[in-house]
């Protein structure tokens, strides 16, 4: 959770790295102004909203929260502040819904048409660990816990907790299908970081 200006800058930097965006010079900023990267734009507004909310900057929070909601409507996504840890990587901005009480750790990679929400029996959201890969169309529902380094297959429906780290789960309802988790994604991110630091 972002608690001060340094946390805010750290979250933005980790999100930039997760989205594989190079640090920009003047030419890059001009290009971004003309052809904006929608995921990066959304994540910057999300993190700024979180910063103002958690630091009790009431007026600035309300202004950025309004901007965040307008952007959510425009991009057909719904993600509230303080759900994701640093290193968020939204691959496709379309049809993503994240319940406000869900908690997702650092370095989450999320594709389009994903729902992370509650069930009628509970208003609590899922708790996902670090380094999670969520495939397109996956649904993660209820008061459940997902361990670190898990890959969730496309169109899976996850309604049970998975506490074994580093596996792949898939299906309706989801079950373990492989001992290989999101490690390939983590290694890919590490090598990109080394090349572009």
Could you tell me if 140 and 121 are in contact, meaning their C-beta atoms sit under 8 angstroms apart? no
Question: pLDDT tens-digit profile of 78-115?
Answer: 999 999 999 999 988 889 999 989 999 999 999 999 99
Lay out the sheet containing 145-146: strands in order across: 103-104, 127-128, 145-146
Q: What is the mean pLDDT of residues 113-123?
A: 88
pLDDT at residue 19 is higher than 80: yes
Pair of tokens at residue 31: 């290009």
Name the domain count of the chain. Answer: 1
pLDDT at residue 123 is higher than 90: no
Q: What is the pTM of this model?
A: 0.86
User: Is 89 inside a domain boundary?
Assistant: yes
**Percent of the chain having pLDDT more than 90?**
68
CATH number at residue 78: 2.160.10.10
Domain range holding 150?
A: 5-185
């Amino acid at each position: 959770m972002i608690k001060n200006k340094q946390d805010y800058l750290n979250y933005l930097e980790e999100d930039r790295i997760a989205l594989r965006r190079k640090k920009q010079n003047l030419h890059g900023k001009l290009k971004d102004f003309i052809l904006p990267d929608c995921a990066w734009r959304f994540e910057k507004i999300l993190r700024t909203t979180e910063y103002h909310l958690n630091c009790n900057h009431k007026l600035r929070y309300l202004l950025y929260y309004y901007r965040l909601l307008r952007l959510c409507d425009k991009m057909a996504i719904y993600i509230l502040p303080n759900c994701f840890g640093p290193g968020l990587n939204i691959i496709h901005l379309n049809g993503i819904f994240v319940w406000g009480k869900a908690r997702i750790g650092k370095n989450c990679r999320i594709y389009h048409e994903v729902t992370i929400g509650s069930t009628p029996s509970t208003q609590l959201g899922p708790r996902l660990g670090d380094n999670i890969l969520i495939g397109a169309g996956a649904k993660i529902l209820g008061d459940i816990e997902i361990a670190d380094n898990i890959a969730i297959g496309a169109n899976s429906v996850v309604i049970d907790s998975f506490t074994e780290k580093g596996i792949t789960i898939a299906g309706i309802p989801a079950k373990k299908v492989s001992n290989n988790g999101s490690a390939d994604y983590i290694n890919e991110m590490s090598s990109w970081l080394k090349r572009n630091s």
